[in-house]
Amino acid sequence: MKKLLLSVLASSLFCSTLYAAELAPLQSDTEPDRTDWTQLDSKYGALPKIDSKLKIGGVSKTLTNEYWRSLGEGYQNVAKQYGFTVAYQAAANEDDQLGQLSIAETLISQGFNGLLVSPQTDINLEPALESANSKNIPVVNVNDAVMPNARYYVGNVQKDNGVRVAKWFIQHYPQGGKVAVIEGQPGVYAAGQRTRGFKETLQANGKFNLVASVPANWSREQAFNAASTILQQHPDLIGFYANNDTMALGVVEAVRSLNKSEQTRVFGTDGISDAYASIKRGELTGTVDSFPVLTGEVAMDVMLRLVNGQKLSRVISTPQALITKENVEAFSTKDNSKLRQLLTQQ
């Protein structure tokens, strides 16, 4: 499969050279051409009139993870409000790179007016991006892998996920201690940035010892096995940071199975409902919520502006917040307007 994918990518390199030359490779965390989600209306005005005949395609990593289902819910919220069509589809699992590419290419061939894509890796949807560009179909890269040639990106600052967790450890463990990272899929921009933010912040503090940083490929089972091994090797470990909540919940199981729940803190990323429930039960210490429903709504807002010819910043930044027992009840609200108000007050 990897050889076939590489072959497909190689075949598009020549025709994409001119387009790529127009843009520097995207680094979404540091791209200077950016606008915060709260400033869309003030900077670009209200949304233009929406044509009910619009067809927007959403291409997700997988629907087995609640985060991606919630992102699609955000897309659908806007579509219902304005009465246009959204088709939200996903690959069978987070390793089905060719399946995801096929979905994107099919939506392009069916005449969809725009694509909101969340690539499985930084490169697997590049051929579809090139095809869409050739047909003047807007494409928005929505979390969390980052296509280098993407003209538009909507998502949070991935590095800041890890930074927020590291700052929690610095505040609560002034004496330092041993910690570990459970990484996501190797080669994915978001996973690398989340890990980097955690590591660099603790290294600058100088009191923490990062004893392990291993990939678990977004898998709860792999995270459980990795955490179990790390805890057996380092029984005095004070904490884990996992690149998503699915893996973090696997780590919680490993910590509990080894009777380390009072000693070893566990943080995840994404803010799925199971993570919130685990925090309320006193198991998971925290998660960095990136509010996928709200992110989906912002991404669709951006797409509607692009379809109507507006020129926007390359990156539209979306919110995130560290959720712990202290604020989990407040952020559990289902009132979208109240959530937006909470986030603008951060």
User: Is 147 within a domain?
Assistant: yes
Q: Which is more confident, 22 or 340?
A: 340
Question: Residue 8 has what pLDDT?
Answer: 46
Helices 245-257 and 220-233 cross at an angle (nearest 10°) of 40
Average confidence (pLDDT) over 229-233: 98
Question: Residue 22 has what pLDDT?
Answer: 73
Percent share of the chain, pLDDT over 90: 90
pLDDT tens for each residue of 121-162: 999 999 999 999 999 999 999 998 999 999 999 999 999 999
pLDDT tens for each residue of 69-85: 999 999 999 999 999 99
Question: Residue 345 has what pLDDT?
Answer: 83
Question: Residue 269 has what pLDDT?
Answer: 98
Inter-residue contact 254 to 228 (CB < 8 Å): yes
User: Is 299 within a domain?
Assistant: yes
Tally of domains in the chain: 2
pLDDT at 16 over 50: no
Confidence of residue 172 (pLDDT cuts 50, 70, 90): very high
User: Is 340 within a domain?
Assistant: no
Is residue 150 located within the same domain as residue 243?
A: no
Q: What is the pTM of this model?
A: 0.91
Average confidence (pLDDT) over 249-262: 98
Is residue 163 located within the same domain as residue 279?
A: yes
User: Is 333 within a domain?
Assistant: no
Question: Residue 238 has what pLDDT?
Answer: 98
3-state helix, strand, coil in the chain (%, to 5): 45, 20, 35
User: Is 326 within a domain?
Assistant: no
Q: Which residue has the tokens 């909507």?
A: 154
User: Is 226 within a domain?
Assistant: yes
Average confidence (pLDDT) over 310-337: 96
pLDDT at 17 over 80: no
For 14-53, b/e burial (b = at least 16 CB within 10 A) is eebeeeeeeeeebebbeeeebbebeebeeebeebeebeee
Q: How many Å separate Cα 16 from the centre of its chain?
A: 26
Rounded Cα distance between 58 and 104, Å, is 8
Is residue 149 located within the same domain as residue 176?
A: no
Mean pLDDT of the chain: 94
What SS3 class is residue 157? coil
pLDDT tens for each residue of 180-196: 999 999 989 999 999 99
Rounded Cα distance between 98 and 318, Å, is 28
- Dihedral of CA atoms 118, 124, 125, 131 in degrees, nearest 10, equals 180
pLDDT at 3 over 80: no
User: Is 228 within a domain?
Assistant: yes
Average confidence (pLDDT) over 269-287: 98
Question: Residue 293 has what pLDDT?
Answer: 96
CATH code of 127's domain: 3.40.50.2300
Residue-number span of the structural domain to which 212 is assigned: 158-289
Determine which of 103-107, 186-190, 273-277 has the lowest per-residue pLDDT on average: 186-190
Is residue 285 located within the same domain as residue 162?
A: yes
Is residue 34 located within the same domain as residue 145?
A: yes
Give whole-number Cα distances, 133 to 15, 112, 139, 297, 312, in Å: 11, 13, 8, 23, 16
Confidence of residue 23 (pLDDT cuts 50, 70, 90): confident
Confidence of residue 246 (pLDDT cuts 50, 70, 90): very high
Question: Residue 346 has what pLDDT?
Answer: 75
Is residue 110 located within the same domain as residue 164?
A: no
User: Is 1 within a domain?
Assistant: no
Helix intervals (H) in the chain? 2-22, 40-44, 66-82, 97-109, 126-134, 158-172, 189-205, 220-233, 245-257, 273-280, 292-307, 328-331, 336-344
Is residue 152 located within the same domain as residue 296?
A: yes
Average confidence (pLDDT) over 316-332: 97
pLDDT at 15 over 60: no
Question: Residue 11 has what pLDDT?
Answer: 46
Inter-residue contact 333 to 339 (CB < 8 Å): yes
Is residue 241 located within the same domain as residue 311?
A: no
Is residue 101 located within the same domain as residue 247?
A: no
